[in-house]
Amino acid sequence: MSLLFSPLTIRSVTLRNRLWVSPMCMYSAIEGVPQEWHHTHLAQFASGGAGLIVAEATAVVPEGRISPRDTGLWNDAQRDAWTPIVDAVHARGARIGVQLAHAGRKASTWWPWAEERGSVPAARGGWGTVAPSAIAFEGFDAPEALDEAGIAEVVEAFASATRRALDAGFDVLEIHGAHGYLLHEFLSPLSNHRDDEYGGSLENRARLLLEVTEAVRRVAGDGVPVFVRISATDHAPGGFTPDEAAVVAEWAVAHGADLIDVSSGGLVAHQHIEVHPGYQVPLADAVRQGGRIPSSAVGLLTDGAQAEAVLAEGAADAIFAGREWLRDPHFGLRAAHELGDEVAWPDQYLRARWR
């Protein structure tokens, strides 16, 4: 059996393989409640052979949504709507996680196919945003800097959303600390100009992420895996660096995280990214620190052989993919076929397995 299709056990959860679906926003919720679209969208990946499916960035408070159409877990109606989606994934043999998120200064924006761009005005359903410092993302409205009481409320919101996620049946929890959203904004000196215990040194800038990680772990208990997604570089001068990311990853594991989901960018509009197949794999490798810190790789990983090579080289412990699953919801079955692996197919699809 390939490494890609070998099982991986994290705490009390065994994942049937290491080819996973990245959280991808669908911008199709109503008042934070996932819809039939989410049910079909996520369940199809389980039929297609994914080991783990992580549902999209799901806001822990209403003002933490990227757009008015984002999913949430700040109330029980949202929790109850997630439950049948979780059940559908389980019925197809896969595990499912949810990415708990707060969009910070990048909240209250239009969804990608809207005619408008930038911040949604209050008259059209938008809201004021918050951040570590009152520094706007280019083209967006300026946020309000969080005070210490506001920071404490953010931590409590992640804890409350964790409880609802567990009640809905999610197997894995991921904390979104990447792509320019609130926790990443605290990590980067480009967006964090604070002079209190949440700004300045790397230890201070990481404080909120670590407090959130501790809170999520406390509610999750000992059996549930907790992942942390980070952007390991801002791809911009003066920003968060891979060396800092490796240190923060180690701290996150010490505070209760089980795996670091390594991505990059998203903090500033002037970032410069050289995109090519597997372009973020070296970042996962650096964060992994020779295997001391469990990590996953993501970024233009599009076939079984390529994903297997990343694992065989020791650059990561698992593979997240996004767009390739959108192009082919049966990417897992295809990758297994490419590698010559024998994996379980849905009975309904067996006629297509061999010829």
Sign of CA dihedral 36, 38, 39, 40: positive
Q: Which domain holds residue 335?
A: 8-352
Comparing CA positions, the residue from 318, 354, 339 lying closest to residue 1 is: 339
pLDDT value at position 342?
84
152 in any annotated domain: yes
Q: Is residue 331 part of a domain?
A: yes
pTM metric for this prediction: 0.96
Confidence (pLDDT) at 230: 98
Question: Residues 22, 54: contact at Cβ < 8 Å?
Answer: yes
Burial of residue 30, with CB atoms counted within 10 A of its CB: 0-12 exposed, 13-18 middle, 19 or more buried? exposed
Closest by alpha carbon to 211, among 255, 175, 253?
Answer: 255
Residue 2 belongs to a domain: no
| Count of domains observed in the chain | 1
Q: Is residue 3 in a domain?
A: no
**10-residue stretch averages of pLDDT, the chain, 355 residues long:** 96 98 98 98 97 98 98 98 98 97 98 96 96 97 97 98 98 98 98 98 98 98 98 96 96 98 95 92 94 95 96 97 97 94 88 77
Tell me if 305 is assigned to some domain.
yes
Residue 310 resides in a domain:
yes
Strands 8-10 and 226-231: what pairing?
A: unpaired
Residues whose CB falls within 8 Å of the CB of residue 105, separated by 6 or more in sequence, listed in order? 129, 130, 131, 135, 136, 137, 140, 143, 180, 182, 185, 191
Active site residues: 181
Residue at 281 is within a domain: yes
What's the pLDDT score for residue 344? 85
Stated as kind and residue range, the H or E segment containing 152 is helix 148-168
Unique residue bearing structure tokens 């999610």: 170
3-state SS class at 261: strand
Tokens of 191: 């967006």
- CATH code: domain of residue 187: 3.20.20.70
In this structure, is residue 118 part of a structural domain? Answer: yes
